């Protein structure tokens, strides 16, 4: 269900410590998200393209990852230029396209693609287990880290249970439709999933207790010390900071 297609590789990015990559991601994506200048947004976009090529990922696979985002952007492009107030560029009867609307669309498009690309380049290039240990080392609370790791482990189990319940319903002649009976059936299935998930959580907790779990997070991950870690982090910090300063001076 969850593919870790990009997680394995031998590129420069893959060798970086998870915690370094998470820190770089946080700084860079916040800087990009808060940027309000079209030209600077393009520079962030270029940085994200550089990161993707440093990670040596297959371009077509990366584009596939962006697909859901494109649907969202399509909606923005249909709605925003027509509804945003500003200088009218083009008028067709009651439809009017505004200059400000178009600029805003461009900004949203570039910024969202940039942030997605940064995520793909920095985070999708590690396994969920590494992500967990990286988050742990930047002092994200253990509970949150466990939540991520357990969701990753059990989401497929829950999906399996959902399929089993649905199959059982279908074998008894259930045909989903738009009627109360179908909604009720789906509600029962959802309810059953919650019940089962909570029972399973109990059993998992028992199993953890049996193996001496003491609320501590341990990790096996090891990334050898790498001088590039610091250089990369400084590079990203420096670039983000100078772009932010540039934007402040510009305005």
Partner 1 sequence: MGFIVTANSSVIKLEDISFSYPGSDTKILDHLNLEIKQGDRIGMIAPNGSGKTTLLHTIMGLCKPDSGTIKVFEKVLNHEKDFLLVRSKIGLLFQDSDDQLFCPTVLDDVAFGPLNLGFSRTDAIDIARKTLEKLGILYFEKSVIHKLSGGQKRLVALASVLAMEPEVLLLDEPTAGLDNKVKEKLIHILNSLDISYFVISHEFDFANAVTDKIYSMENGRILRDDEIHIHRHEHIHKHGKHPHIHK
Residue 79 interacts with partner 1 (CB under 8 A): yes or no: no
CA distances from 169 to 140, 178, 188 (A): 42, 16, 11
- Binding test (CB under 8 A) with partner 1, winner from 32, 129, 239, 243: 129
d(CA 208, CA 215): 10
Choose, by CB under 8 A, the member of 33, 50, 88, 209 that binds partner 1: 209
Q: Quote the Cα angle for 84-85-87, to 5°.
A: 115
Among 92-100, 162-170, 216-224, 242-250, the segment contacting partner 1 (CB under 8 A): 216-224
**Does residue 147 belong to the site contacting partner 1 (CB under 8 A)?**
no
Provide the minimum distance between the beta carbon of 69 and partner 1 in the complex, in angstroms, as a whole number. Answer: 26
- CB contact burial 136-171 (16+ within 10 A = b; e otherwise): bbeebeeeebeeebeebebeeebeebeeebeeebee
Q: Please pick, from the candidates 173, 203, 225, 248, the single residue that binds partner 1 as defined by CB under 8 A.
A: 203
Residue 6: closest CA among 81, 61, 80: 61
For position 151 contacting partner 1 by CB under 8 A, the verdict is no
Distance CA 76, CA 35 (A): 19
127 is a contact residue toward partner 1 (CB under 8 A):
yes
Q: Which of 26, 63, 138, 150 binds partner 1 (CB under 8 A)?
A: 150
Contact 124, 66 (CB under 8 A): no
Q: Least distance to partner 1 from the beta carbon of 17, Å?
A: 16
Output 170 or 205, the one with its CB closest to partner 1: 205
Using rule CB under 8 A, residue 195 touches partner 1: no
Q: Which is nearer to partner 1, 66 or 128 (CB)?
A: 128
In the complex with partner 1, the residue whose CB is nearer, 59 or 216, is: 216
Which burial class, exposed, middle or buried, applies to 76 when counting CB atoms under 10 A from its CB (0-12, 13-18, 19+)?
Answer: middle
């Amino acid at each position: 269900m969850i593919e870790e297609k990009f997680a394995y590789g031998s590129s420069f990015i893959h060798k970086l410590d998870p915690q370094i990559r998470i820190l770089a991601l946080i700084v860079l994506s916040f800087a990009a998200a808060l940027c309000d200048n079209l030209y600077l947004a393009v520079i962030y976009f270029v940085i994200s393209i550089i990161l993707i090529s440093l990670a040596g990922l297959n371009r077509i696979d990366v584009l596939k990852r962006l697909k859901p985002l494109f649907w969202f952007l399509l909606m923005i492009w249909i709605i925003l230029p027509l509804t945003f107030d500003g200088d009218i560029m083009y008028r067709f009867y009651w439809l009017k396209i505004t200059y400000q609307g178009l600029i805003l669309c461009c900004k949203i498009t570039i910024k969202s693609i940039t942030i997605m690309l940064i995520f793909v380049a920095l985070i999708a290039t590690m396994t969920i287990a590494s992500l967990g240990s990286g988050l742990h080392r930047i002092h994200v609370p253990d509970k949150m880290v466990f939540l991520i790791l357990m969701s990753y482990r059990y989401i497929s189990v829950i999906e399996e249970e959902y399929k089993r319940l649905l199959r059982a319903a279908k074998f008894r002649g259930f045909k989903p439709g738009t009627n109360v009976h179908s909604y009720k059936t789906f509600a029962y299935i959802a309810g059953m999933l919650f019940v089962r998930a909570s029972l399973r959580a109990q059993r998992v907790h028992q199993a953890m207790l049996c193996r001496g779990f003491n609320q501590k997070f341990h990790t096996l991950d090891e990334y050898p010390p790498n001088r590039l870690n610091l250089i990369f982090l400084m590079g990203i910090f420096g670039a983000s900071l100078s772009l932010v300063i540039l934007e402040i001076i510009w305005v």
